[in-house]
Amino acid sequence: MQRIGVFVCHCGTNIAGTIDVKAVAEALKNEPGVVFSTDYQYMCSQAGQDIIKNAIAEHKLTGIVVCSCSPRMHENTFRKTAAAAGLNSYMVEIANIREQCSWVHKEMPVGTEKAIILGKAAVAKVNLNAPLTPGESPVTKRALVIGGGIAGIQTALDIADAGFPVDIVETKPTIGGKMAQLDKTFPTLDCAACILTPKMVEVAQHENIRIFSYSEVSEIKGFVGNFDVTIKRRARYVKEDLCTGCGACTEKCPQKKVPNEFNLGMDNRRAIYIPFAQAVPKVATIDADYCTMLKTGKCGVCSKVCTAGAIDYQAKDEFVEEKYGAIVAATGFNPISMDKFDEYAYSQSKDVITSLEFERLTNAAGPTAGKLLRPSDGEHPHTIVFVQCVGSRCAACAEKGKEYCSKICCMYTAKHAMLTRDKYPDTDVYVFYIDVRTPGKAFDEFYRRAVEEYGVHYIKGMVGKVSPEGNKLKVQASDLIAGKQLHIDADLVVLAAAIEPDKSARPLATMLTASMDTNDFFTEAHPKLRPVESPTAGVFLSGTCQGPKDIPETVSQAGAAASKVIGLLAKDKLTGNPCVAHSDENMCNGCSTCGNVCPYGAITYEDKEFRMPDRTTKMRRIAVVNEAVCQGCGCCTVACMSGAMDLKGFMNKQIMAEVDAICK
Amino acid sequence: MQVNGEFKPLIVAFCCNWCSYAGADLAGNNRLNYPAEVKIIRVPCSCRVNPMFILRAFQRGADGVILCGCHPGDCHYTSGNYYTRRRMALLFSMLDYLGIEKERTRVEWVSAAEGAKFAATMNDFVEKVTALGENKRLEDLRCKK
Amino acid sequence: MQEIKREDLIAKAAQLLADGTVDRVIGWKKGEFDYDVTPAVFTSKEELENEFVWNDFCGANFSKYLRKEAEKTESKAAVFLKPCDTYSFNQLLTEHKFDREKVYAVGVPCNGMLDDSKIKAAANGISSVSEENGKVAVETLYDGKITLERNEMLAERCVNCKSKKHVAYDELLGEDGEVLDSARFDEVAKIEAMSADERFAFWQNELSRCIRCNACRNICPACTCEKCVFDNPDSGVENKAIADSFEEKMFHIIRAFHVVGRCTDCGECSRVCPQNIPLHLLNRKFIKDINGFYGDYQAGAEAGSRAPIVDFTKEDLEPGEAVERGGENA
């Protein structure tokens, strides 16, 4: 039996004005377990807290009920008071007789009666309280950033600058991501490479950063502060420590017909290659799918020309195991496939291209050395049609495209149109759009310049069909404002393809037990207040893996994610919330229903041996809650039909005792 | 229960700690009245509310039970109230199927900023339950005073 | 009449025992009367030939038996599963309730099982029941031989059979059937169409007959808790015998709620209820609602599937709407 003390606060006249506090204290004296009951003007004051401390000592109280303002105000205060008097701070319950009683009811008898009932409910609960101790777990002071685009780069740099070691895992042979493929960036039109590559070099040279390029995460175990991660380093057949990046091998390799993914297949590279001049790490990689030596055992040219002796045909995939305290997902995006958009003739004509392909066509390091030439015949295009929202805002055709707005297309299309008119003023440029969305600093001004200064023809309406005829592309479109059909003979059609999360994000989310939305974007812990954290503790989100973003937004989110990581890694120990779920292994039947509803992946299952009454043993599957990961929502407790799963601090019995006390 | 010959319903309101309980506090801060028949039980999340608690309340003499949680999409635990929504849709439909008056149970989404909505919801709920009268279909006669 | 013959089942069981695939077979054997066939474990050909029964009264769903049976030894047990049983089989696999490796499942087609209570209602003093030219021949003490139409004697769950397709097996005897369009929700819709007062009166009448024998819970393939909350003094809701009409409601509502999304509608609860309470109408209400609210879902159709009660979409309907829709969501 508990020895409970009840402390009724007047809160000046806030409570005492409509509640007879003395009557409340008197009535609660008779409740089971209550050995002491009093009232005071301001319980939260030092003098009030002293009354509580003295009573705990004098009456050997094992639990206290404070009838006062909302627990959201002073629960913590009174918990500290209890702790100072040597009582476990979770033996404190608050009856909210101010916000939910004296302030909403006008008549003294009504308020008093309700306050007594609320007090009884709190007493009934404390009777079933048990001391709780928050769990502690150590923090591994190292962060993992998955993805080496601008988001991952910025996050890694910020964490590393704060003094914590960071590893970047990137699937491609080089970091840099999509930004490395871009030509200019809106709205300032500075060159993407000029602002990105110094950051890439900084990453390479940073003493706190390691880059695992051409690698992927293959397994993640553990929880916040204590992740065990296995990284698969794919065999690149070139020793990274020996290769000097001189590129001799990439010039001599006889296999010249490999589609160059960096230029989106618009030209070819060799079987041994460095993706682009400023690649980091600047190390060659052998493409095992095309290398004659690896496929047939006959060639070996690269090995012969390599003066550093870096080529290793025997290389195997390697696995690195490392511990991390925090993980940042920065897996980025890709334009969606144009396969389902046959109305734009993407698969029928080389001159129908995506916007990212257009970037490469205008990039000085691209397949045309920066000259805007038609992919089919290398001629200069004189009429270019840009089509916006190809697969974006596609609510009616969800199986084809995406319901969401890809956010960046309006601006890069304005950029493409403007740059084209700037470099080639003899070119007619049409942009077909649903809406032009330009919310961002200096964005609308930029778009208006494209229209007003550069004479880009913006037409509200969608393109219905593109048909290749001879060396022209017949574009049929509607002009919604003029209310007429348009027919344009274009030389080049550029599709602003919707963007979607990288395919690696979904399996990564599964490994992290991080939640995703239906579009495979990572879900944030709170859409407004915790936008860079995943609901899964210790997992943070950077860049477009969380939703479509442009570069400035990505960089600021990357920095925000880094600051959250730094905040976590700066701690030596993590103190958990002790009000977490707990499964009674004797009752658990291992059905896995609880794990299905846990938003944090805090529940795992294991086989455990049980001794049976007849002295035999039996293996049974049971649920185990990781207290460091559980956030205490209690969803699992309702999913659990056997009642094995319960929530400390809000146990089934406690809530039912409150119900009973209220309904008595 | 009958008070001076007048029926006063007993209402149990389960409120999630993060939105609705704060919304109820805000109703208090703004001194917005609602009937004292409403007694609030704080739970971490609406998804903590087990159907057994609801039946238990009716058993012990409650005349109405209302669950309040964060608006869908705003759950502090990201998805708790989505589960609540499915569980309660099914449970309430079942209670209706058993002939229990459907006005006795309700789920309402109340954010921390919606003190006015909280008070209005409670006023409305109490009014509806008062009109129904005493809960006789889910009561336990042993629990009668 | 069942298409597959008793001899075929015995031959299959004997072969599985002989070639060492399994060391025991779960099947049916005769009880005291022709119509109370009971589950049994057979370990030899002799036993099978002497006692194995396969007729129109082999209604028992063996899925739940597997749980205990598979735990007993390291060796495999064979089990005969009718199409409806295979759904429970999958559902139990989804919940990790037995080791699939320890079970050899033999699918048997089913033409529907008979309801002994219907036969008892039509014939007094039954001494034997057999099958004659597709009809049910009943020898009675008082009225001699009575011939009944098989279709009229079918169990309710077989009249409204949801599927003749086996969704899980290692081996199938005979031809597999199809998932059927059944009228199984008609009865639920009928109750939904009543007024609230009528519904309350209906269920009060049905549930007040409950004697809390727990047969429904014990037979239910979805009720697999180590300890039922209603038996557990620590749960706070422990209750046993009928003490107040509330208790049956609490028990049956919570029991039905605990099997939401897990109940395969095998109908065993109603089959075993000694008070003939139509318990399946509670479960079917949930199934019907799930189908109406969240799209068709058949528990057990696919092992490992995620039940709608442990899933959600952002656009789900509100509980208030669910109640308003009531019976309109067929």
CB atoms within 10 A of CB C73: 11
Residue A232, beta-bridge partner list = A216, A319
Residue A463, beta-bridge partner list = A477
> In which residue ranges of chain A is pLDDT below 70?
none
- Phi then psi dihedrals of residue A479, to 5 deg: -105, 105
The reply to whether omega before A281 is within 30° of 0 (cis) is yes
Q: Please report the residues numbered 577 through 616 in chain A whose beta carbons come closer than 8 angstroms to any beta carbon of chain C.
A: 586-593, 596-597, 605
The reply to whether omega before A71 is within 30° of 0 (cis) is no
Query: Does pLDDT of C147 surpass 60?
Result: yes
Q: Which domain holds residue A466?
A: 334-500
Per-residue pLDDT tens digits for A214-229: 999 999 988 899 999 9
Q: Please name the helix (run of DSSP H) or strand (run of DSSP E) that holds residue A655, with its range, or none.
A: helix A652-663
Distance of alpha carbon A633 from alpha carbon A250, whole angstroms? 56
> Nearest by CB to B51, which of C236, C254, C312?
C254
Q: What is the pLDDT of residue A536?
A: 83
Distance of alpha carbon A272 from alpha carbon A216, whole angstroms? 20
Query: Does pLDDT of B28 surpass 60?
Result: yes
CB contact A96 to B (< 8 Å):
yes
- Do residue A180 and residue A262 come from a single domain? no
Are the CB atoms for C300 and C86 separated by under 8 Å? yes
In chain A, pLDDT over 70 holds for what percent of residues? 100
Q: Residue A376 is encoded by which pair of tokens?
A: 């089919």
Q: Which among A194, A291, A206, A210 is positioned nearest to A250, based on CA atoms?
A: A291
CB contact B35 to C (< 8 Å):
no
Chain C residues lying within 8 Å of A587, measured CB to CB = 225-227, 232
Q: What is the pLDDT of residue C202?
A: 95
- Give how far C310 is from chain B: nearest CA, Å: 7
Q: Please report the residues numbered 62 through 91 in chain A whose beta carbons come closer than 8 angstroms to any beta carbon of chain B.
A: 70-72
- Do residue A167 and residue A241 come from a single domain? no
The CATH number of the domain where A227 resides is what?
3.50.50.60
CB contact A656 to C (< 8 Å):
yes
State mean pLDDT over B17-29: 93
Q: What is the pLDDT of residue C243?
A: 63
Q: Is residue A591 part of a domain?
A: yes
Strands (DSSP E) contained in A34-146 are 34-40, 63-68, 92-96, 136-138, 143-146
Are the CB atoms for A446 and A454 separated by under 8 Å? no
Distance of alpha carbon A31 from alpha carbon A4, whole angstroms? 9
- The reply to whether residue C258 touches residue A641, judged by beta carbons under 8 angstroms, is yes
State mean pLDDT over C232-252: 78
Q: Is residue A657 part of a domain?
A: no
How many Cα atoms occupy the beta-carbon half-sphere of A165 within 13 Å?
10
CB contact C294 to B (< 8 Å):
yes
Q: Please name the helix (run of DSSP H) or strand (run of DSSP E) that holds residue C296, with its range, or none.
A: none
The CATH number of the domain where B123 resides is what?
3.40.50
- Do residue A221 and residue A343 come from a single domain? no
Q: To the nearest 10°, the Cα dihedral for C121, C126, C132, C136?
A: 10
Least confident piece of the model among A26-35, C27-36, C158-167: C27-36
Chain B residues lying within 8 Å of C202, measured CB to CB = 99
Q: What does DSSP say about strands A617-625 and A184-185: parallel, antiparallel, or unpaired?
A: unpaired
Query: Does pLDDT of B134 surpass 80?
Result: yes
Distance of alpha carbon A591 from alpha carbon C94, whole angstroms? 8
What is the distance, to the nearest Å, from the Cα of residue A405 to the centroid of all Cα atoms in its chain? 18
Q: Which among A509, A535, A513 is positioned nearest to A524, based on CA atoms?
A: A535
Are the CB atoms for C89 and C108 separated by under 8 Å? no
Alpha helices in chain B (DSSP H): 20-29, 51-59, 80-97, 115-132
Per-residue pLDDT tens digits for C290-328: 999 999 999 999 998 999 999 999 899 999 998 887 545
Residue C28, beta-bridge partner list = C39
- Do residue A197 and residue A257 come from a single domain? no
A268: three-class secondary structure by DSSP: strand
Which subunits have 3 or more CB–CB pairs within 8 Å of chain C? A, B
A144: three-class secondary structure by DSSP: strand
Query: Does pLDDT of B4 surpass 90?
Result: no
Query: Does pLDDT of C220 surpass 50?
Result: yes
Q: Which among A114, A112, A56 is positioned nearest to A80, based on CA atoms?
A: A56
Longest distance between any two alpha carbons in chain A, whole Å: 99
The mean of the pLDDT values for chain B is: 92
Q: Is residue A487 part of a domain?
A: yes
- The reply to whether residue C310 touches residue A593, judged by beta carbons under 8 angstroms, is yes
Q: What is the pLDDT of residue A628?
A: 84
* ipTM score assigned to the predicted complex: 0.96
In C, minimum Cα distance to A598 occurs at C310
Query: Does pLDDT of C330 surpass 50?
Result: no
User: For residue A89, what is the DSSP state?
Assistant: G
Are the CB atoms for A119 and A67 separated by under 8 Å? yes
Q: Exposure of A390 by Cβ count < 10 A (0-12 exposed, 13-18 middle, 19+ buried)?
A: buried
CB contact C229 to B (< 8 Å):
yes
What is the distance, to the nearest Å, from the Cα of residue C30 to the centroid of all Cα atoms in its chain? 19
Per-residue pLDDT tens digits for C75-110: 999 999 999 999 999 999 999 999 999 999 999 999
Q: Which among A641, A633, A630 is positioned nearest to A588, based on CA atoms?
A: A641
Q: Which domain holds residue B21?
A: 2-143
- Do residue A496 and residue A347 come from a single domain? yes
Longest distance between any two alpha carbons in chain C, whole Å: 64
- Do residue A229 and residue A152 come from a single domain? yes
Q: Residue B22 is encoded by which pair of tokens?
A: 């704060």
Are the CB atoms for A349 and A469 separated by under 8 Å? no
The mean of the pLDDT values for chain C is: 90
Q: Exposure of C291 by Cβ count < 10 A (0-12 exposed, 13-18 middle, 19+ buried)?
A: middle
Chain A residues lying within 8 Å of C226, measured CB to CB = 586-589, 620, 642, 644
Are the CB atoms for A580 and A625 separated by under 8 Å? yes
The CATH number of the domain where A631 resides is what?
3.30.70.3270
3-class secondary structure per residue, B106-142: EEEECCCCCHHHHHHHHHHHHHHHHHHCCCCCCCCHH
Q: Residue A560 is encoded by which pair of tokens?
A: 């925000």
Distance of alpha carbon C288 from alpha carbon C184, whole angstroms? 9
Q: Which among A394, A365, A353, A320 is positioned nearest to A167, based on CA atoms?
A: A320
In C, minimum Cα distance to B68 occurs at C319
Q: What is the pLDDT of residue C242?
A: 62
Q: Exposure of C329 by Cβ count < 10 A (0-12 exposed, 13-18 middle, 19+ buried)?
A: middle
Q: Is residue A188 part of a domain?
A: yes
Question: How far are the Cα atoms of A70, B40, B42 from residue A11, in angstroms, in the given order?
Answer: 12, 20, 21
Distance of alpha carbon A643 from alpha carbon A651, whole angstroms? 10
Q: Which among C230, C186, B49 is positioned nearest to A633, based on CA atoms?
A: B49
Q: What is the pLDDT of residue C326?
A: 58
Those residues with Cβ within 8 angstroms of residue B93's Cβ, 6 or more apart along the chain or in another chain: C285, C289, C322, C323, C325, C326
pTM for the model stands at: 0.77
- Do residue A487 and residue A403 come from a single domain? yes
- Do residue A223 and residue A241 come from a single domain? no
The CATH number of the domain where A265 resides is what?
3.30.70
- Total number of domains in chain B: 1
- The reply to whether residue B56 touches residue A525, judged by beta carbons under 8 angstroms, is no
What is the pLDDT confidence band of residue C241, given thresholds at 50, 70 and 90? low
Q: Residue C279 is encoded by which pair of tokens?
A: 């318990």
Strands (DSSP E) contained in A178-297 are 184-185, 190-191, 209-212, 215-223, 226-233, 258-259, 268-269, 272-273, 285-286
- Do residue A52 and residue A90 come from a single domain? yes
- Total number of domains in chain A: 5
Residue showing tokens 């009811």: A105
